[in-house]
Structure 1
């Protein structure tokens, strides 16, 4: 199994769990970075042994991937562009735990590029703690993560401030104060941080003058106004029949065709049903460019901004990774032979903004009545009720960000 597929299966497991945890009177929007969470946990997995290692292998699907850490190293190189770019589609994510976050920078020579996708890793370790030099060497080699000595024992708040500043700087200040007061204590020995920051322009931008206020159907009985963007554009589009329903799939490319946003729009009121039965094989099949048709589509998409925060300890424990968080049961002796090390928390934040410059769509004004006389009408993609979306790196089929939009909160 390829690493991207293993990460995808884990991503859907986490996604379903997060959606269940956020259940309320009305469906809620959320976004997270599967790449961030998998990368951060992979660094921990490098030092896991025995039962803890076996649990992590099963939950993360790593047992089905040969040489996991080399594959992560190769994946990072493939998805990270050479240099900086300008964009307005904004996404950032951070994971923190015994701590984690999201991002890693490339050392490649500067070259023109059309999007920004930076990832960075760092270890923050208690200055008096005895870490395995082999572990530190492998984390630096495979994840480009250096160790920064910290005083968690007597200067916990100062250490928290240092880590927060690093994350904020590496996510263009989109993730502010990722580590809240109380997450770190004088017993903290290691904070592993992975940050991801993405910024990209649509290949076909929406025209602001076409954005109009329209109702978004949160449920069959409740609607709220949104700023609905519009454009008519040639995009990859299809209708998928699944469980006696027809779901629309549209791929909105960024200026660099390696990255795109894929939106899955099920029939109104069926989002939960689709999510409960979604598998990575189905998702990859539905989003396979070779199976989508290039059509001129009338695309209506809400302009939105969202931020999500999750404490993943209970989620990961429920998925089968419980020993990692148990001070008596965790085996992280690959990180330190002294023992007694365990993961105290896993916090994940993600920030996402979709607007006219940073979303793919197409805008056009046409007389559809006249078109009906001459040819079949162009397809209509009207995202006016809850939908799923993901940012995908197409060459590796890796899901960088995954979310659902359920309307204004």
Structure 2
């Protein structure tokens, strides 16, 4: 297995573990890949048991050079002409920590930036404002805020990572077909929301024994990236899907070769989800508690004295609109002659569903999300 293949396997396994840890009925979107790059950066600075636990939980042991594999994967994904995928990572470190020059140099080479030095100890409010300004500038205003919850006078290290996708559908949803429709919540309550509609040929799969259906909605002319909508038969079916979800299942469900090209009428909610997610509790439950412990952490590759992460913050936004996530190129209304022929099959996403954005070439999960309510 090459480093690239090992990184993809690690990322996709990590996606499944994150999906299992998601609880509640809130809309959520996260980028396992962007989190993986942030944790790989933390792993560079860790030693001893914390480093071992990161490698074990993320299954880094299967990759001889995780950073080389990630660099290769990210260059493939972020240099596409079909879409824009923007991933940023930054370590904010208190100025009382004399950061190792070796780590700073390695971080600059691999992450294209040295850690940012701030004054958490004496001026936590100013440090937070500095982080927010960095975020706004680095993401060109896509993300406007970071929670202050993890920042105080004792904070030594905060990791911030972001992911944002700009892409157009291969076959866009005509604006005039977007209508208000009823959406059934997991509680069986109903609310009105805008559902987009398009008629065309899409890859579809129905898995009766799992009580779910899947549709592939590709992006761009070359279809190198796709959103897979996993729709349970029941309005409260997400819980059952996640109870039984596995790495093998998710890979199989998002395999275009296992789907059937079908002429179909598709209804999809028009939505935008913005997540500002603290990963501390989830990663703690996954077995990475030592990274966040002021007594057990060992970040001596960054700073010789006791250094631990206060939090790892994942900021992600995902949009499903008529043209895609955001209009970045000219698109056509792929309606034309298709309106002449009426579809006999409907794929109507009118209750909670899971979605995966997958890179087709490398079979890598880039985003994972759950849409639960308008």
TM > 0.5: yes
CA distance in 2, matches of 1:285, 1:271: 18
2:32 counterpart residue number: 34
Aligned residue pair count:
360
Q: Which residue of 2 aligns with 1:13?
A: 17
Matched, 1:279 2:246: yes
2:328 is aligned to: none
Pair 1:264 & 2:235 matched: no
Q: Once the 2 structures are TM-superposed, how far is the Cα of residue 378 of structure 1 from its aligned partner?
A: 4.0
How far did residue 128 of structure 1 move?
4.3
SS in 1 for 2:310: coil
Question: 2:197 aligns to what?
Answer: 230
Q: Any conservation in 2 of the 1:168–1:175 contact (CA below 8 Å)? A: yes
Unaligned regions of 5+ residues in structure 2, if any? 326-330
| Equivalent residue, structure 2, for 1:349 | 315
Q: Residue 147 and residue 316 in structure 1: after superposition, are their counterparts in 2 closer, same or farther (change >3 A)?
A: closer
Paired residues of 2:157 and 2:311 also in contact (CA < 8 A): no
Shift of 1:116: 1.5
Structure 1: give runs of 5+ residues left out of the alignment. Answer: 83-112, 369-376
TM-score by length of 1: 0.81
* 1:157 is aligned to 2:125: yes
Aligned to 1:173: 141
Distance 1:64 1:186 in 2: 39
Distance 1:188 1:355 in 2: 39
220 and 189 in structure 1: CA distance in 2 versus 1, 3 angstrom threshold = closer
The residue that corresponds to 2:269 in the other structure is 302
SS at match of 1:124: strand
> Given the superposition, is the C-alpha separation of residues 147 and 343 from structure 1 closer, same or farther in structure 2, using an over 3 Å criterion?
closer
1:371 corresponds in structure 2 to none
Which of the numbers 67, 70, 82 marks the counterpart of 1:69? 67
Cα offset, 1:273, TM superposition: 0.7
1:13 aligned counterpart, secondary structure: helix
Residues 395 and 39 (structure 1 numbering): CA distance in 2 closer, same or farther, change over 3 Å? same
Q: Displacement of 1:198 after TM fit? A: 1.2
Work out the CA distance in 1 between the residues paired with 2:210 and 2:224.
30
Q: Secondary structure at the match of 1:46?
A: helix
Native 8 Å contact 1:295 1:378 kept in 2: no
State the superposition RMSD in angstroms.
Answer: 2.3
Partner Cα distance (1:239, 1:232) in 2: 18
Closer, same or farther: CA 313–190 of 1 in aligned 2, 3 Å: closer
Q: Secondary structure at the match of 2:306?
A: coil
Deviation at 1:220, TM superposition (A): 6.5
